[in-house]
Structure 1
Amino acid sequence: MSLEWPVRDDWLAQVREAPLEPDLPIVDAHHHLWKLPHDTYLLDEFLADADPQRGGHNIVASVFAECAAMYRPDGPAELRSIGEVEFANGVGAQAASGAFGPVKACAAIFGSADLMLGDRVGAVLDLHMARAPERYRGIRPIVCADPHGALDPWPSAPAEMMESAAFRAGARELQRRGLSLDLWVFHHQLDQVASLAAALPDLTIILDHIGTPLGMGWYAGRRDEVFAAWRAGLAAVAERPNVRLKLGGLNMHFNGFGWHERSRPPTSDELAAANGPYYAAAIDLFGPARCMFESNFPMDKRACGYDVLWNAHKKMTAGFSADERRLMFHDVAARTYRIEGSVAA
């Protein structure tokens, strides 16, 4: 399965669930919007999943995550990502009008910029901020790398990029502007995240997709080995107080659960059984006050429905207090991304 595999709505329709705890306020801390030749997921599609008025969970706001959507087709390469910022900001303005329903979609956004520009990336960040002053919160550069080809056929970043002087100089430009740095890495790169966080203790770093313990390709059949390595790497990252963790993105093909290969999509009970050990370990390491839930839609929509996914999240946290769950489902994301006007943010 890859990004080129479109969402199969007829397949997902086989398993639908009524939302558990439908009043629990949620900030979806990570989703994408795009229009591709084989797949469209724009505001209407997101709200079809997330709008509580359509029978869904109580999504009060969301964070747009960069995905190379709507880049400008020409001009200097380092400036083309401005198009994505303008696009996401426009969607945020649409949602804020209330004309599309109660969900403040794209209430915060993070874009993409090349930190290997070093301190020269500051000029790019300033242009991004000027395009979306009320919503722009930071960036996510491409840093995923794997010696065994987990990203194939997608391009991979240089293996030691996060350790480079240029990358760290660029990251300091984020810090100077009060912006945050989202990172998507594979589990064997977690030591680099810990090193970066230690080198830049005043920079807020958000680790996406629970650190992506790999389970496909070369990593298939090594789940216990990968889990141990992932947990050790995550423990090192958790020692850095400037890092926040996103709980989600664990059902992509990278993780090796193979949901997309089944005749029926998983139920929330099945997701909770498979994902539960990872969530339990991650929350234990970071604590509820540094964790936030994400859908990672529509990437994870290739594996399960939005209703099912959030039910699984709720089931996996049933043993936590109301205050702890409020932190993970709402407050940490609202505070980290500075989402104003969200419920009790």
Structure 2
Amino acid sequence: MSEEVGIRFRDDWLGLVVEEAIDPERPIVDPHFHFFDESEMFPHYRPPDLERDAAGHDVRQAVFVQCLEHGYTTGPEHLQPVGETEWIDGLATEAAQEPSGRIQIGAIVGDARLAFGSGIRETLEAHQAASPRFRGIRDVGIWDPSPEIDDGEGITGPNLYADPAFREGFSELDRMGLSFDAYQYHTQLPFLADLARAFPNTTIVLDHLGTPLGAGPYAGRREEVFAEWEKGIREVASCPNIVMKLGGLAMPWCGFGFERADTPPTSDDFVSVLGRYFEHAIDCFGPSRCMFESNFPVDRLSLSYTVLWNAFKKMAKRYSADEQNDLFMGTACRVYRLDEA
């Protein structure tokens, strides 16, 4: 990631904006978070940190998504990501036994390099053996020609998802009943639609609202980017096997600048700036194919957990009770095969 992102947590700065949780009894499944321990990118972040950040909102379960932590450092390369799943399963088991713990780690989205082709089945089976919580994988495909924009690890071109070896590996997900989390920039959304059409029986989860970029060469081009993103969202929404995670736009490379302001945004600020992105995505996908996500602790660079979910709850007021249940819990439970608590 580019050096100017300045990846660090500023608790004193976050504390400049304090809100009480809105609708604190609404049950929530947070379908996208990370834990960090040995990362060079992010500070230490473990279950007690998530519990602390989420206090006030009724977060009952959460879904861990791969972040290249604690992979095996020896053995076959294609099996090394299984170490992360094993680590998270251990943390989840410890959290479940903690008397004061409220949040259960209900599902794990692991890491795998699908470009290993059909041989990736061994990796997927090893993930399943490592944890009963394993539900699918994420193979990051982000890429941009600008050196100012972060690329996924080892990604050398715009369309990893079209690579024949990748698709050979992807076919194993369908055979094993596993989901796929996709991380793509807004410029790559047509590539994801093509993948979804090629594998209509595999559930694909588009992370972070398709990540409309606002940094590097995209800075100062907000309306142009929005128009391209808007079109891309309509295209991916036409694929019934794609579901949408609503969040991630507080990441610095989206370019909204929250992390550079003198004070963090309030929930009203967040809705004012970003509401149209959420509204367009929900209109295209429908609430039954959308789920709010925290993307913590990455989005913690820009605002607190309480403020973020207050913003989500304010945006959700226009929907019916059943639709709100889908947005906050139901869709995540269906996609990741969780019991509604």
- Is this a same-fold pair by TM over 0.5? yes
Q: Is the 8 A contact 2:36 2:44 kept in 1?
A: yes
Matched residue of 1:74: which SS? coil
In structure 1, what is the equivalent of residue 92 of structure 2? 92
The superposition leaves residues 176-218 of structure 1 with CA deviations (integer Å, 9 ceiling, x where unpaired) of 1100000110001000110000000000000000000011110
CA distance in 1, matches of 2:151, 2:234: 30
Distance 1:298 1:103 in 2: 15
Q: Structure 1: which amino acid aligns with 2:94?
A: Q
Deviation per CA, 1:61-117: give whole Å up to 9, x if none.
00001000111222222211111000111122122225242211x210111101001
For residue 48 of structure 2, what is the aligned residue in structure 1?
44
1:288 paired residue number: 287
Residue 151 of structure 1 corresponds to which residue in structure 2? 149
Partner of 1:58: 58
Residue 32 of structure 1 aligns to which amino acid in structure 2? H
**Who is 1:69 aligned against?**
69
- Counterpart check, 1:218 vs 2:217: yes
Structure 2 letter corresponding to 1:149: P
* Contact 2:203-2:243 at 8 Å conserved across structures: yes
Counterpart secondary structure, 2:44? strand
Contact 1:209-1:246 within 8 A present in 2 as well: yes
Q: Provide, for residues 34-83 of structure 1, a one-character-per-residue CA deviation record: whole Å limited to 9, x for no partner.
A: 113661101111111124xxxx1010100001000111222222211111
* Contact preservation (8 Å) 2:30, 2:292: yes
Query: Is the contact between residue 30 and residue 295 of structure 1 (CA under 8 Å) also seen in structure 2?
Result: yes
Distance 1:9 1:79 in 2: 37
Give runs of aligned pairs for residues 1-345 of structure 1, distance below 5 A.
5-35=7-37, 36=39, 39-51=43-55, 56-104=56-104, 106-132=105-131, 134-152=132-150, 155=153, 157=155, 158-340=157-339, 342-343=340-341
Count matched residues: 336
Q: Cα distance 1:277–1:324, how it changes in 2: closer, same or farther (>3 A)?
A: same
Q: What stretches of structure 1 move > 6 A for 4+ residues in a row?
A: none
Identify unmatched segments of 5+ residues in structure 2. none
What SS class does the counterpart of residue 276 from structure 1 fall into?
helix
Per the TM alignment, residue 224 of structure 1 is displaced from its structure 2 partner at its CA by 0.7
Deviation per residue, 1:7-45 (Å, 9 max, x gap): 111110111110000011110010000113661101111
| TM-score, structure 2 as length reference | 0.95
Report Cα offsets for 1:126-172 as digits up to 9, x if no partner. 0111001x200010012101112353487462322111111111111
Structure 1 gaps of 5+ residues are none
**In 2, are the aligned partners of 1:94 and 1:100 still within 8 Å (CA)?**
no
Aligned-pair identity in percent equals: 43
Distance (whole Å) between structure 2 residues aligned to residue 156 and residue 219 of structure 1: 23
Report Cα offsets for 1:209-232 as digits up to 9, x if no partner: 000001111001111111111011
